[in-house]
Amino acid sequence: MRSRFPQDLLSQDPSQDPPGGAPDPLAESGEASPRGAPSYLDGQLLVAMPGMADERFSRSVIYLCAHSAEGAMGIIVNKPASDLTMPDLLVQLDIIEKDDAIRLPHRIGHMPVLMGGPVESSRGFVLHTPDFHIEQSTLLIDEGICLTATIEILRAIADGRGPESAVLALGYAGWQAGQLESEIQANGWLHCPADPNLIFNTTLETKYDRALRGIGIEPAMLSTTAGHA
Protein backbone atom coordinates (compact mmCIF):
# COMPACT_ATOMS: atom_id res chain seq x y z
CA MET A 1 0.00 0.00 0.00
CA ARG A 2 1.28 3.45 -0.84
CA SER A 3 1.54 6.13 1.80
CA ARG A 4 -1.41 8.47 2.04
CA PHE A 5 -0.39 12.07 1.46
CA PRO A 6 -2.04 14.35 4.05
CA GLN A 7 -4.06 17.25 2.71
CA ASP A 8 -2.46 19.70 5.15
CA LEU A 9 1.08 18.76 4.18
CA LEU A 10 2.01 22.11 2.74
CA SER A 11 0.84 24.77 5.12
CA GLN A 12 -1.38 27.56 3.90
CA ASP A 13 -0.35 29.56 7.00
CA PRO A 14 3.45 29.50 7.26
CA SER A 15 3.41 31.88 10.21
CA GLN A 16 1.97 29.23 12.56
CA ASP A 17 4.51 28.33 15.22
CA PRO A 18 5.54 24.64 15.24
CA PRO A 19 5.69 22.62 18.46
CA GLY A 20 8.86 21.53 20.17
CA GLY A 21 10.57 24.89 20.60
CA ALA A 22 12.33 24.93 17.22
CA PRO A 23 11.99 28.10 15.14
CA ASP A 24 9.71 28.06 12.12
CA PRO A 25 11.94 29.06 9.18
CA LEU A 26 9.07 30.81 7.43
CA ALA A 27 7.88 32.85 10.39
CA GLU A 28 8.96 36.46 10.63
CA SER A 29 10.26 35.78 14.13
CA GLY A 30 12.43 32.93 12.86
CA GLU A 31 14.77 34.80 10.54
CA ALA A 32 18.07 33.13 9.78
CA SER A 33 21.09 34.42 11.67
CA PRO A 34 23.39 36.91 9.94
CA ARG A 35 25.72 35.21 7.50
CA GLY A 36 28.72 36.62 9.36
CA ALA A 37 27.78 35.13 12.73
CA PRO A 38 30.32 32.32 13.23
CA SER A 39 28.34 30.59 15.98
CA TYR A 40 25.30 29.95 13.78
CA LEU A 41 25.23 27.30 11.08
CA ASP A 42 22.14 28.10 9.01
CA GLY A 43 22.84 27.26 5.38
CA GLN A 44 25.30 24.50 6.30
CA LEU A 45 25.08 20.72 6.36
CA LEU A 46 25.07 18.60 9.49
CA VAL A 47 26.55 15.13 9.02
CA ALA A 48 25.82 12.54 11.71
CA MET A 49 28.79 10.89 13.37
CA PRO A 50 28.87 7.06 13.61
CA GLY A 51 28.22 7.29 17.35
CA MET A 52 24.92 9.16 16.92
CA ALA A 53 22.76 7.93 19.80
CA ASP A 54 19.40 8.69 18.17
CA GLU A 55 18.70 6.04 15.53
CA ARG A 56 16.34 8.39 13.72
CA PHE A 57 19.37 10.44 12.71
CA SER A 58 21.81 7.61 12.00
CA ARG A 59 23.85 8.43 8.85
CA SER A 60 21.75 11.54 8.33
CA VAL A 61 22.71 14.56 6.27
CA ILE A 62 20.71 17.59 7.37
CA TYR A 63 20.45 20.96 5.67
CA LEU A 64 20.12 23.63 8.36
CA CYS A 65 17.46 26.14 7.36
CA ALA A 66 17.54 28.22 10.54
CA HIS A 67 19.88 28.49 13.51
CA SER A 68 19.85 31.17 16.19
CA ALA A 69 19.95 31.63 19.94
CA GLU A 70 16.34 30.37 20.00
CA GLY A 71 17.15 26.98 18.45
CA ALA A 72 17.61 25.35 15.07
CA MET A 73 15.58 23.75 12.29
CA GLY A 74 16.78 21.55 9.44
CA ILE A 75 15.70 19.10 6.76
CA ILE A 76 17.11 15.58 6.40
CA VAL A 77 18.09 15.34 2.73
CA ASN A 78 19.17 11.72 2.35
CA LYS A 79 16.28 9.57 3.62
CA PRO A 80 13.22 8.67 1.52
CA ALA A 81 9.66 9.08 2.79
CA SER A 82 8.43 5.49 2.57
CA ASP A 83 7.29 4.67 -0.97
CA LEU A 84 5.49 7.95 -1.65
CA THR A 85 6.25 9.37 -5.09
CA MET A 86 5.77 12.85 -6.49
CA PRO A 87 3.08 11.69 -8.97
CA ASP A 88 1.15 10.05 -6.09
CA LEU A 89 1.41 13.25 -4.13
CA LEU A 90 0.14 15.47 -6.95
CA VAL A 91 -2.82 13.16 -7.58
CA GLN A 92 -3.77 12.93 -3.89
CA LEU A 93 -3.71 16.71 -3.58
CA ASP A 94 -5.96 17.02 -6.66
CA ILE A 95 -3.29 19.01 -8.45
CA ILE A 96 -3.35 16.59 -11.39
CA GLU A 97 -5.66 13.80 -12.51
CA LYS A 98 -4.53 10.21 -12.04
CA ASP A 99 -4.36 9.66 -15.79
CA ASP A 100 -2.02 12.64 -16.13
CA ALA A 101 0.59 11.22 -13.77
CA ILE A 102 2.29 9.21 -16.49
CA ARG A 103 2.56 12.33 -18.64
CA LEU A 104 4.66 14.26 -16.15
CA PRO A 105 8.18 15.13 -17.33
CA HIS A 106 10.82 12.69 -16.13
CA ARG A 107 12.47 15.13 -13.72
CA ILE A 108 9.12 15.84 -12.01
CA GLY A 109 8.01 12.23 -11.89
CA HIS A 110 11.30 11.28 -10.23
CA MET A 111 11.62 14.26 -7.89
CA PRO A 112 12.57 12.90 -4.44
CA VAL A 113 10.09 12.89 -1.56
CA LEU A 114 12.11 12.81 1.64
CA MET A 115 11.60 12.05 5.32
CA GLY A 116 12.66 15.49 6.49
CA GLY A 117 12.55 14.77 10.21
CA PRO A 118 10.40 13.62 13.13
CA VAL A 119 8.74 16.99 13.87
CA GLU A 120 5.45 17.84 12.11
CA SER A 121 5.71 14.88 9.75
CA SER A 122 2.37 15.84 8.17
CA ARG A 123 3.81 19.13 6.94
CA GLY A 124 5.85 19.53 3.77
CA PHE A 125 8.86 21.66 2.97
CA VAL A 126 10.35 22.15 -0.49
CA LEU A 127 14.05 22.93 -0.80
CA HIS A 128 14.72 24.35 -4.24
CA THR A 129 16.97 26.46 -6.43
CA PRO A 130 16.50 30.26 -6.29
CA ASP A 131 15.10 30.56 -9.82
CA PHE A 132 11.61 30.23 -8.28
CA HIS A 133 10.07 32.56 -5.71
CA ILE A 134 6.67 33.05 -4.07
CA GLU A 135 6.28 36.45 -2.44
CA GLN A 136 6.15 36.25 1.38
CA SER A 137 6.44 32.45 1.25
CA THR A 138 9.90 31.65 -0.14
CA LEU A 139 12.88 32.00 2.19
CA LEU A 140 16.33 32.41 0.64
CA ILE A 141 18.64 30.43 2.92
CA ASP A 142 21.80 31.04 0.92
CA GLU A 143 22.78 31.85 -2.66
CA GLY A 144 21.91 28.42 -4.03
CA ILE A 145 19.07 27.09 -1.85
CA CYS A 146 15.59 28.35 -0.95
CA LEU A 147 12.77 26.97 1.18
CA THR A 148 9.05 27.19 0.38
CA ALA A 149 6.26 25.52 2.38
CA THR A 150 3.03 26.35 0.55
CA ILE A 151 1.03 24.19 -1.83
CA GLU A 152 1.44 26.76 -4.59
CA ILE A 153 4.95 25.53 -5.28
CA LEU A 154 3.64 22.02 -6.04
CA ARG A 155 1.08 23.47 -8.44
CA ALA A 156 3.88 25.38 -10.15
CA ILE A 157 6.04 22.25 -10.36
CA ALA A 158 3.19 20.26 -11.90
CA ASP A 159 2.55 23.03 -14.44
CA GLY A 160 6.19 23.22 -15.45
CA ARG A 161 6.63 26.63 -13.82
CA GLY A 162 8.56 25.44 -10.80
CA PRO A 163 12.24 25.61 -9.88
CA GLU A 164 14.91 23.91 -11.93
CA SER A 165 15.78 21.61 -9.03
CA ALA A 166 13.82 20.74 -5.89
CA VAL A 167 13.22 18.11 -3.23
CA LEU A 168 10.13 17.76 -1.06
CA ALA A 169 10.50 16.72 2.58
CA LEU A 170 7.87 15.60 5.08
CA GLY A 171 8.59 17.00 8.53
CA TYR A 172 11.76 18.52 9.89
CA ALA A 173 14.38 18.17 12.60
CA GLY A 174 14.22 20.73 15.40
CA TRP A 175 16.45 21.69 18.31
CA GLN A 176 15.65 23.91 21.27
CA ALA A 177 17.97 26.68 22.42
CA GLY A 178 21.49 25.35 22.97
CA GLN A 179 20.57 21.76 22.11
CA LEU A 180 22.33 21.55 18.75
CA GLU A 181 25.45 23.22 20.13
CA SER A 182 25.58 20.62 22.90
CA GLU A 183 25.21 17.75 20.42
CA ILE A 184 28.02 19.14 18.25
CA GLN A 185 30.30 19.51 21.28
CA ALA A 186 29.51 15.90 22.20
CA ASN A 187 30.74 14.78 18.75
CA GLY A 188 27.24 13.94 17.53
CA TRP A 189 27.57 16.01 14.35
CA LEU A 190 30.09 17.30 11.88
CA HIS A 191 29.22 20.39 9.89
CA CYS A 192 30.35 21.87 6.60
CA PRO A 193 29.18 24.33 3.91
CA ALA A 194 26.21 23.08 1.91
CA ASP A 195 26.63 22.01 -1.70
CA PRO A 196 23.47 22.43 -3.83
CA ASN A 197 24.69 19.64 -6.11
CA LEU A 198 24.72 17.25 -3.17
CA ILE A 199 21.21 18.24 -2.12
CA PHE A 200 19.60 18.23 -5.56
CA ASN A 201 21.73 16.08 -7.87
CA THR A 202 23.11 13.24 -5.77
CA THR A 203 21.38 9.89 -5.18
CA LEU A 204 20.07 9.44 -1.65
CA GLU A 205 22.24 6.38 -1.05
CA THR A 206 25.50 8.25 -1.72
CA LYS A 207 24.82 11.61 -0.03
CA TYR A 208 26.22 10.62 3.36
CA ASP A 209 29.55 9.37 2.03
CA ARG A 210 29.81 12.29 -0.39
CA ALA A 211 29.18 14.77 2.44
CA LEU A 212 31.95 13.20 4.51
CA ARG A 213 34.37 13.30 1.59
CA GLY A 214 33.45 16.94 1.07
CA ILE A 215 34.67 17.59 4.62
CA GLY A 216 37.86 15.71 3.80
CA ILE A 217 37.03 12.48 5.62
CA GLU A 218 37.10 9.03 4.09
CA PRO A 219 33.96 7.26 5.41
CA ALA A 220 35.77 3.98 6.06
CA MET A 221 38.28 5.77 8.29
CA LEU A 222 35.75 7.69 10.39
CA SER A 223 35.50 6.45 13.99
CA THR A 224 33.05 7.22 16.75
CA THR A 225 35.74 9.29 18.46
CA ALA A 226 36.46 11.62 15.54
CA GLY A 227 36.48 15.30 16.41
CA HIS A 228 34.83 18.28 14.82
CA ALA A 229 35.23 19.20 11.17
Whether pLDDT at 9 is above 50 = no
> Is 126 in contact with 167 (CB distance < 8 Å)?
yes
Q: Which CATH class is domain 40-218?
A: alpha beta
User: Could you tell me which residues are beta bridge partners of residue 128?
Assistant: 146, 166
Specify the pTM. 0.80
pLDDT digits (tens, 9 = 90+) for 17-60: 333 344 454 443 334 333 333 468 999 999 999 878 888 999 99
List CB contacts of 224: < 8 A, sequence separation 6 or more. Answer: 49, 50, 51, 187
**Cα–Cα distance between 94 and 228 in angstroms, integer?**
46
* Range with top average pLDDT, 27-31, 92-96, 140-144: 140-144
| Average model confidence (pLDDT) across the chain | 82
Between these two residues, 213 and 53, which has the higher pLDDT value?
213
Residue 148 has pLDDT above 60, yes or no: yes
pLDDT 10s digits, 49-76: 987 888 899 999 999 999 999 999 999 9
Sign of the CA dihedral with 52 first, then 54, 55, and 56 last:
negative
What ranges do the domains of the chain cover?
A: 40-218
- Whether residue 228 is predicted with pLDDT greater than 80 in this model: the reply is no
